[in-house]
């Protein structure tokens, strides 16, 4: 059974303060089952904000993109478990030993996600840091490391959904940022899709930030995206 459209929408709370984050969460929780807390907000407001967002009724996706020596990553995952978060990210570029250390201490209720290639990056970015493969191949390579290590899902750009599904089938959840409704500004995202396009391609969860949180009426913007997801989810020719 597929999750509801609301349960597939993740709001990126990329704001600077606790007050802004809680206000947005309370406004948007009727439309989205998940709120994403990233490094900026977590650094500013700390663990208490996670607990406050949970109190709104939303699940929490803590997007810290952990990348360190295996022991440090494992100990951090253990610390995060006490905050009652439901998703947590690690960078798959940290390698198999690091990922396995994180997986080993993650409880069943925590969906541990592997970050592949950031949606702000492109092939030129990879060449700059010495990688010769294109984005799609690098994403699939990293996802394979995650799958071999027992990761629960991967974060990847929408353009890589098809290649990932061919490589790993339905074994991993696909969490897709860089979602932009038609006509929205791209901002710093380089690999984007509309909500319907991403769902059609095979995404399990969509991460949407500024098109909702920076809209004049965030609830109206979220409702429109939810309707777009609904229009696809309940069609038999959609994934």
* Catalytic residue ranges: 65
User: Which CB contacts under 8 angstroms, 24+ apart, belong to 145-150?
Assistant: 145/92, 145/95, 145/96, 145/99, 145/114, 146/92, 146/99, 146/114, 146/172, 147/171, 147/172, 148/96, 149/96, 149/99, 149/100, 149/103, 150/100, 150/103
Phi, psi of 60 (to 5 degrees): -115, 125
Q: CA–CA separation, 198 vs 231, rounded Å?
A: 13
DSSP for 129-180, please give it: TT--S-HHHHHHHHHHHHHHHT-SEEE--GGGHHHHHHHHTTSSEEEE--B-
Q: CA–CA separation, 57 vs 48, rounded Å?
A: 15
């Amino acid at each position: 059974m597929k999750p509801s459209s609301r349960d597939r929408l993740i709001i990126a709370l990329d704001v600077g303060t606790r007050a802004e984050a809680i206000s947005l969460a309370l406004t948007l929780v009727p439309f989205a089952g998940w709120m994403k807390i990233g490094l900026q907000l977590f650094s500013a407001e700390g663990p208490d904000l996670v607990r406050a967002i949970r109190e709104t009724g939303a699940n929490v996706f803590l997007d810290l993109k952990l990348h360190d020596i295996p022991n440090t990553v494992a100990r951090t995952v253990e610390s995060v478990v006490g905050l009652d978060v439901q998703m947590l990210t690690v960078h798959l570029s940290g390698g198999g030993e690091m990922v396995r250390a994180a997986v080993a201490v993650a409880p069943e209720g925590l969906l541990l996600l592997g970050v592949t290639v950031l949606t702000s990056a492109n092939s030129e970015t990879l060449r700059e840091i010495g990688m010769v493969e294109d984005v799609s191949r690098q994403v699939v390579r990293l996802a394979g490391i995650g799958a071999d290590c027992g990761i629960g899902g991967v974060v990847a750009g929408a353009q890589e959904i098809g290649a990932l599904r061919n490589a790993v089938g339905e074994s991993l959840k696909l969490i897709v940022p860089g979602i932009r409704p038609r006509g929205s500004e791209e901002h710093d995202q380089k690999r984007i899709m509309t909500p319907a396009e991403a769902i059609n391609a095979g995404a399990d969860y969509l991460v949407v930030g500024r098109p909702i949180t920076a809209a004049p009426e965030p609830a109206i913007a979220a409702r429109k995206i939810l309707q777009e997801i609904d229009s696809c989810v309940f069609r038999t020719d959609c994934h």
